[in-house]
């Protein structure tokens, strides 16, 4: 290999960057409370419409977890007064529209992308969906059964199982976040059609609805279509539901979910993080890029490229209105599970102990700054970015300020963020793996008290 000095000399230098700004958008509120956000982007003859409702999983009634996701799916699958679910699907798809309806923790969203020529027809269909859903009993029962099948499938799916049980062990039993977004066996089975209707009537209201339109359309035309579709919709505004984000425990613990003969351990290590609106969002995000957010992050280089323990290892914060999990995720060969956990812990400790190097800082900031335009190439990506703005109530100029704020980060600021927001003493470890191989080494690791569970998450001796 050539020396580093010679290497640098042969590298091409970039030309001056061309200017880029996040697509201009307009926000306005209709008389009935619906908010309209329009970003005209005339690259290809496509439009994405995303209709957000304040009807995320945090709104699930206690004991009926899963209602929000069922309702979101049923908006399409359950049909409307005019069309049953099959006909409704057919009407969208004959237009070529791709459409999906789902709920995450903070909001429900119906998202549709169509060629612009079909937009008026598609808008009319969306109006029908939002305003006259029918929740046919047969489809309610079917979607419940499909969710139960999904829950069953998870028992043998190590990645999903690790994610789900990690949340359960992370949050206090009183927190909605401790239970799966889609609900569990008991709560889904307990949901009936009346509760579905009540949830729809209580949460899908014009005052809690935002229509986002991104793509080949003018603001005037988007407003005209929105008024035609939703202008006469009446109703109030649902009350905001705030999730409890309390941790289950303050001290470290190891939770082993037994999957006999597993050739790998699915490993999750983390704790309750911070909310999306926390003032330290930027320093935490950039700090995480260095820790485990990028391919060349400390955790991935250590676990994958130095030790060859894994195909990949990453860390991240799941950004929610309240504090979502901070989690390091990886899958490692079973017999080195303890060694991998030790390396992860040492990286978390190291980033709190000393300032990151200037090279690491500039890699993270120049990546997040430079990649910004690449994140918004599609109408659906632009609509999704606007949805983040709406759901989290971010400032209007958030995307215009984003790159400068990233560039303003310093090593000291990130060190402070790591010390303030990473809590090695509270880490929870979840391992889905073969207890015969992983249990004893993990106990010897001294990470924390170790408990064994079956794949349903019940403690076993």
Stretch that binds other proteins, among 43-51, 318-326, 385-393, 439-447 (CB under 8 A): 43-51
233 binds other proteins (CB under 8 A): no
Kindly identify the residues of this chain, within the stretch 124-143, that bind other proteins according to CB under 8 A: 139, 142
Q: Are 341 and 428 in contact (CB under 8 A)?
A: no
Interface pick for other proteins out of 82, 366, 408, 419 (rule CB under 8 A)? 366
146 binds other proteins (CB under 8 A): yes
CB nearer to other proteins: give 51 or 95.
95
CB nearer to other proteins: give 155 or 392.
155
Distance of closest approach, residue 93 Cβ to other proteins, in angstroms = 4
Kindly identify the residues of this chain, within the stretch 254-283, that bind other proteins according to CB under 8 A: 259-264, 266
Interface pick for other proteins out of 5, 17, 242, 425 (rule CB under 8 A)? 17
Distance of closest approach, residue 97 Cβ to other proteins, in angstroms = 7
Site string for other proteins, 153-192 (x = CB under 8 A): x-xxxxx---------------------------------
Edge-to-edge strand list for the sheet holding 108-115? 26-29, 35-40, 209-215, 46-53, 108-115, 98-103
Q: How far apart are the first and last CA of the chain?
A: 55
Stretch that binds other proteins, among 62-70, 175-183, 297-305, 417-425 (CB under 8 A): 297-305
388 binds other proteins (CB under 8 A): no
95 binds other proteins (CB under 8 A): yes
Radius of gyration in angstroms for the set of CA atoms belonging to the chain, rounded to a whole number: 24
3 binds other proteins (CB under 8 A): no
Stretch that binds other proteins, among 56-64, 84-92, 123-131, 415-423 (CB under 8 A): 84-92
CB nearer to other proteins: give 242 or 374.
374
Burial 294-331 (b: 16+ CB within 10 A, else e): beebbbbbbbbeeeebbeebbbbbbbbbbbbbbbbbbb
Stretch that binds other proteins, among 27-35, 194-202, 253-261, 280-288 (CB under 8 A): 253-261
Interface pick for other proteins out of 67, 71, 75, 97 (rule CB under 8 A)? 97
362 binds other proteins (CB under 8 A): yes
CA 97/CA 356 separation, integer angstroms? 47
Distance of closest approach, residue 333 Cβ to other proteins, in angstroms = 6
CB nearer to other proteins: give 357 or 419.
357
Beta-sheet strands, E only, within 140-296: 209-215, 253-258, 264-272
CA 305/CA 310 separation, integer angstroms? 9
CB nearer to other proteins: give 173 or 374.
374
217 binds other proteins (CB under 8 A): no
Q: State the pairing for strand pair 449-453/253-258.
A: parallel
Count of residues that interact with other proteins, criterion CB under 8 A? 84
**Dihedral angle, C-alpha 280, 283, 288, 294, nearest 10 °:** 140
List the one residue out of 381, 318, 384, 389 whose CA is nearest residue 105.
318
Task: Work out the widest C-alpha separation in the chain, in whole angstroms.
Answer: 73
Residue 7 β-bridge partners: none
List the one residue out of 267, 276, 278, 258 whose CA is nearest residue 303.
267
Alpha helices in 307-397 (DSSP H): 337-353, 358-370, 379-391
Stretch that binds other proteins, among 10-18, 128-136, 236-244, 267-275 (CB under 8 A): 10-18
DSSP 176-219: GGGS-TT--HHHHHT--HHHHHHHHHHH--GGGEEEEEEES--H
CA 197/CA 428 separation, integer angstroms? 38
Q: Are 410 and 365 in contact (CB under 8 A)?
A: no
Interface pick for other proteins out of 371, 425, 458, 461 (rule CB under 8 A)? 371
Classified as helix, coil or strand, 34 is: coil
69 binds other proteins (CB under 8 A): no
Distance of closest approach, residue 244 Cβ to other proteins, in angstroms = 32
CB nearer to other proteins: give 83 or 172.
83
408 binds other proteins (CB under 8 A): no
Distance of closest approach, residue 287 Cβ to other proteins, in angstroms = 16
CB nearer to other proteins: give 122 or 196.
122
Interface pick for other proteins out of 193, 304, 350, 413 (rule CB under 8 A)? 304
């Amino acid at each position: 290999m050539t020396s580093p000095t010679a290497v640098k000399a042969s590298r091409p230098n970039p030309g001056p960057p061309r200017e880029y700004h996040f697509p201009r958008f307009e926000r306005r509120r209709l008389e009935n409370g619906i908010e309209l956000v329009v970003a005209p982007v005339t690259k290809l003859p496509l439009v994405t419409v995303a209709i957000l409702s304040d009807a995320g999983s945090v709104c699930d009634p206690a004991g009926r977890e899963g209602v929000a996701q069922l309702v979101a799916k049923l908006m399409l699958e359950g049909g409307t007064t005019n069309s049953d679910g099959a006909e409704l699907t057919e009407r969208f798809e004959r237009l070529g529209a791709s459409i999906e309806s789902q709920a995450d923790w903070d909001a429900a969203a119906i998202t549709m992308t169509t060629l612009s020529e079909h937009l008026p027809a598609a808008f009319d269909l969306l109006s029908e969906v939002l305003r006259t859903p029918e929740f046919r009993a047969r489809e309610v029962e079917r979607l419940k059964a499909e969710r139960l099948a999904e829950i069953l499938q998870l028992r043998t799916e190590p990645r999903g199982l690790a994610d789900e049980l990690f949340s359960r062990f992370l949050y206090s039993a009183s927190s909605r976040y401790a239970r799966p977004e889609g609900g569990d066996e008991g709560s889904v089975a307990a949901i009936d059609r009346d509760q579905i209707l009540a949830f729809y009537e209580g949460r899908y209201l014009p005052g809690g609805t935002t229509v986002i339109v991104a793509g080949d359309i003018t603001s005037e035309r988007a407003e005209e279509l929105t008024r035609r579709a939703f202008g006469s919709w009446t109703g109030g505004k649902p009350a905001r539901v705030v999730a409890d984000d309390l941790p289950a425990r303050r001290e470290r613990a190891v939770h082993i979910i037994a999957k006999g003969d597993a050739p790998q351990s699915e490993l999750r290590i983390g704790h309750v993080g911070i909310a999306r609106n926390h003032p330290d969002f930027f320093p935490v995000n950039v700090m995480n890029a260095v820790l485990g957010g990028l391919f060349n992050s400390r955790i991935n280089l250590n676990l994958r490229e130095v030790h060859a323990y894994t195909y990949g290892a990453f860390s991240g914060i799941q950004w929610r209105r309240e504090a979502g999990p901070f989690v390091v995720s990886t899958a490692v060969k079973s017999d080195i599970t303890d060694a991998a956990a030790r390396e992860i812990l040492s990286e978390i400790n190291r980033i709190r102990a000393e300032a990151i190097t200037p090279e690491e800082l500039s890699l993270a900031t120049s990546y997040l700054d430079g990649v910004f335009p690449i994140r918004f190439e599609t109408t659906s990506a632009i609509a999704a970015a606007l949805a983040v703005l709406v759901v989290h109530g971010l400032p209007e100029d958030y995307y215009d300020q984003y790159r400068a704020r990233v560039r303003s980060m310093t090593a000291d600021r990130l060190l402070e963020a790591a010390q303030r927001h990473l809590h090695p003493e509270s880490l929870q470890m979840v391992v889905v793996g073969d207890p015969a191989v992983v249990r004893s080494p993990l106990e010897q690791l001294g990470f924390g008290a170790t408990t064994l569970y079956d794949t349903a998450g019940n403690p076993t001796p």
